[in-house]
Amino acid sequence: MLRKPLFVLALALQAATAQSRIPVVLSTDVGNEVDDQWAIVYLLLHPTFDVRGILSAHAPSISPPAGKVSLEILRSVVEQRLGMATHPPLFEGASLPLASRTQPRPSPAVDFLIQASQGYTETNRLQVLNIGAITDVASAILKDPSITRRIRVLNMGFNSAAQGGNEFNIANDPLAMQVVLDSDVPLVTGPGDVCRRDLALTLDQARAMVAGRGPVGQWLWTEFLAWYYRHVKPLRKDDFSKPWMIWDNIVLAHLLGMTESREADRPAMTEAMSFTPSTVPGRKMTWITRVDSARMWADFVERLDLYQSTHAVPGR
């Protein structure tokens, strides 16, 4: 029997791995809370993801112009904290929410998303991970409605699948969320109640996971600790039991096959961000119902250790 040379087998394995990677674009309001940093690190360090680009999203807690400031923070995370001289392209998103449900909010991020989606199809979609206000995704749909046949949106948002609710990401641009819900784009959503149950970390848990774990791990711990003392425990003198959520990892876990989910009728959304039946029957969406957090955090730590053992990370 003829045997192929080892280098041929290695090339074939590399090609198969490249073909199996998931093409993704991330939209993040990094600079708002602590969880975006964890999600960016997980995304960029995981070989399963073929990251085509990252978009900066606005939030009221980010200094104006929010899209530009978020982009600067995003660049510092990628280039300074992770030490990536070569990385996926980064694009400035809108600094303000939509002014109407019919007019897109122009930004470099919108133009990039439309361009990046070209070549994808209904059976081979670009995965768009949205972990902030969904302004740029909605604007891309308004500017080029055909994009709904080329992308799938995975969104962290709403308080629950049953009620919807005034959750931070949704509240930062309700009109944009209405545009997405009313469109035909395939939609997967990770709601807040699942994040609270499955993605909560106490101070001790976060410390044990990343503190002292190389420069990147130590930075993530410092970010978590600072957020915890500012927002979780400002007045709780001796009680450190209250956790905080790494909300945004829910969409990454879903793409990695570490969640359970269910399909449901796709609702419409009121101005109060509650759900009502859609006027277009038959539309569906997917709700994430559980995250295998033990498996996800073990994988997260493994990727963190491997990256820092094989790359020149600032601070080492």
List the one residue out of 157, 91, 151, 93 whose CA is nearest residue 127: 151
Residue 9: what pLDDT? Answer: 40
Structure tokens at 192: 């807040």
Residue 94 zone, left/alpha/beta (φ > 0; ψ -120 to 50; rest):
beta
Q: In the structure, what pLDDT confidence band is assigned to residue 11 with cuts at 50, 70 and 90? A: very low
Structure tokens at 156: 């962290």
Q: Which domains does the chain have, with CATH numbers?
A: 21-310 (3.90.245.10)
pLDDT digits (tens, 9 = 90+) for 229-267: 988 876 666 778 889 999 999 999 999 999 999 999 999
Give this prediction's pTM: 0.92
Residue 235: what pLDDT? Answer: 64
